[in-house]
Amino acid sequence: MSNKQFDVIVIGGGPGGYVAAIRAAQLGYTVACIDEWKNAQGGPAPGGTCTNVGCIPSKALLQSSEHYEHAAKHFGEHGITVKGLGLDLAKLVGRKDAVVKQNNDGILYLFKKNKVTFFHGRGAFARAVQGGYEITVAGSAEDTLVGQQIIVATGSNARALPGVPFDEENVLSNDGALRIGAVPKKLALIGSGVIGLEMGSVWRRLGAEVTVLEALPTFLGAVDEQIAKEAKKAFDKQGLKIELGVKVGEIKPSKKGVSIAWTNAKGEDQTLEVDKLIVSIGRVPNTIGLNPEAVGLKLDERGAIVVDDECKTNLPGVWAVGDVVRGPMLAHKAEEEGVAVAERIAGQHGHVNFNTIPWVIYTSPEIAWVGRTEQQLKADGVKYKAGTFPFLANGRARALGDTTGMVKMLADAATDEILSVHIVGPMASELIAEAVVAMEFKASSEDIARICHAHPSLSEATKEAALAVDKRTLNF
Ligand code: FAD
Ligand code: NAI
């Protein structure tokens, strides 16, 4: 047969797909990875949503905008005077683009290093053949491939409001939100989830007046209530205007901006005139162009590919991972599934522990957690002990000048096993790793309390929260 044959073909080169391809190649398979993402010049840009319009560029903008805010508002506290502070937005956004490119190039290098054959184009199922599936590639590369095992990792797309398509000029998805050309005077976001808070923070720090409209009456419903309350206090103080319990009405984009009709929690009609609107109301699984019908690949009513606990689809030899399947839409969840599937193909016992997947919101203060919230434990009838420790009493946080927030640990009342850790405060994204390791190793709160933590470090707050579970903090 003239078709190019591979042991494993991965469709999609985001964190789920490219990592699965590398792991499968490490295990000795011949592997192809097909990804259609194009950079501004039309060249390949593997890395998916995460690298191109998600995790990486948003963190680059969060970092730059935080530097700007520190210089404008907080350097004075350190006795540093700044005169003539300015903002070169083109350079700031250009730096973000350079960071993205480094990551794109890094993945292409990793493919070469691991002997993964990369195809730049759209992969689609053509038909089932003897011992596998025929996959067509259309784009910069035109080809027909045959793979014994297929891993689908086609990711997700931003969800639009009904009747309000993204024009990426005034009505922006995460894509447009990351490349606004001039700081808008007034910016609205619909949805105060993860993107709403991260993107809202970036543009507020750079000078926009930001209003976030959220349908739910509670702020960050998935986050532990005590932590969400503390975060909300900090965002209010920063001037991020968050309206809860709203109903969004008609949205009228014009040449000048966007007009948004909405009803507040009291039922009063309001209108918001803004320069730009970011819609961040969740994401939908993406199978556009994949042609799942050709082979009878089953999707659910949300458009997600139906998989079992092991990421097996309804078809033999076809797997799916990441945002295109059930579960949290997180890059590290996609990666873990990708690795596990490659290992399962090799007959190994790849495993993803959904109970220890950390969540991080990269605002200031950062919010991070692993495991169930206090509210969920109560609802599940679990008896627990709680310990909290505020960063206000942590020496390193005081030295940093960032004492907002706390570490909260919840442990089983009978066995003392750590059930969850919730953090709001500086570097929560890094601190949460200790909690994940502890939970993976089934540590008790006493284990953490007995472990030597460097002084002065933010991690001492985790140790003190563990001590607090036993009501014996040393520094508070
Ligand atoms: P994707 O990253 O979406 O990759 C899918 C790839 O497949 C894309 O390159 C796409 O072009 C390609 N593709 C699709 N169909 C085809 C086809 N038929 N043929 C060829 N190629 C195809 N998660 C975190 O964990 N941490 C964060 O900080 C974070 N920040 C985020 C910020 C924003 C603004 C957004 C939008 C998301 C963020 N996420 C974050 C979520 C994260 O980006 C996703 O969970 C992750 O990218 C999912 O990985 P994936 O491999 O499943 O899919
Ligand atoms: P989200 O699910 O985090 O938040 C969406 C919010 O919009 C919810 O609070 C919801 O109640 C609200 N909403 C829905 N419909 C609405 C409406 N019609 N009017 C007003 N509010 C409405 O989704 P988001 O922020 O779009 O992000 C998508 C996903 O991307 C996240 O769930 C996460 O998985 C991932 N992500 C992860 C990040 C991280 O890990 N740091 C950063 C950004 C995104």
Task: State the Cα angle at 426 between 183 and 366, rounded to 5°.
Answer: 55
pLDDT along the chain (476 residues), means of 10: 84 98 98 97 97 98 98 96 97 98 98 98 97 94 94 98 95 97 98 97 98 97 97 97 97 92 97 97 97 98 97 98 98 98 97 97 98 98 98 98 97 98 98 98 98 98 98 96
Of all ligands present, the nearest one to the C-alpha of 335 is: 1
Tell me, what's the pLDDT at 411? 98
pLDDT of residue 1: 38
Judge whether 3-157+284-352 and 171-281 match in fold: yes
Whether this model's pTM surpasses 0.95: yes
pLDDT value of residue 140: 80
Quickly name the fold that domain 356-469 has.
Answer: Enolase-like; domain 1 (3.30.390)
pLDDT at 2: 47
Residue 335 to residue 17: CA distance in whole angstroms: 8
The protein residue whose alpha carbon is closest to atom 35 in ligand 2 is 329
> What pLDDT score does 113 carry?
98
Q: Which amino acid is at 207?
A: G
Is residue 37 helix, strand or coil?
coil
Active site residue 455: yes
Decide: 215 in ligand 2 pocket, CB within 6 A: yes
In the chain, what are the domain boundaries?
A: 3-157+284-352, 171-281, 356-469
Q: From CA 115, how far away is CA 331, in angstroms rounded? A: 23
Query: Which CATH number describes the domain made up of 171-281?
Result: 3.50.50.60
Q: How many helices (H) and strands (E) does the chain have?
A: 13, 22
Per-residue pLDDT of 250-294, as tens digits, reads: 999 988 899 999 999 999 999 999 999 999 999 999 999 999 999
Q: Is 52 in the pocket of ligand 1 (CB under 6 A)?
A: no
Ligand closest in space to the Cα of 15: 1
Measured from the CB, is residue 17 less than 6 Å from ligand 1? Answer: yes
Considering the four listed CATH numbers 3.30.70.1520, 2.40.30.10, 3.50.50.60, 3.40.50.12780, the one that applies to the domain covering 3-157+284-352 is 3.50.50.60
Q: How far out from the chain centre does Cα 401 lie? A: 27
Predicted confidence at residue 255, as pLDDT, reads 81
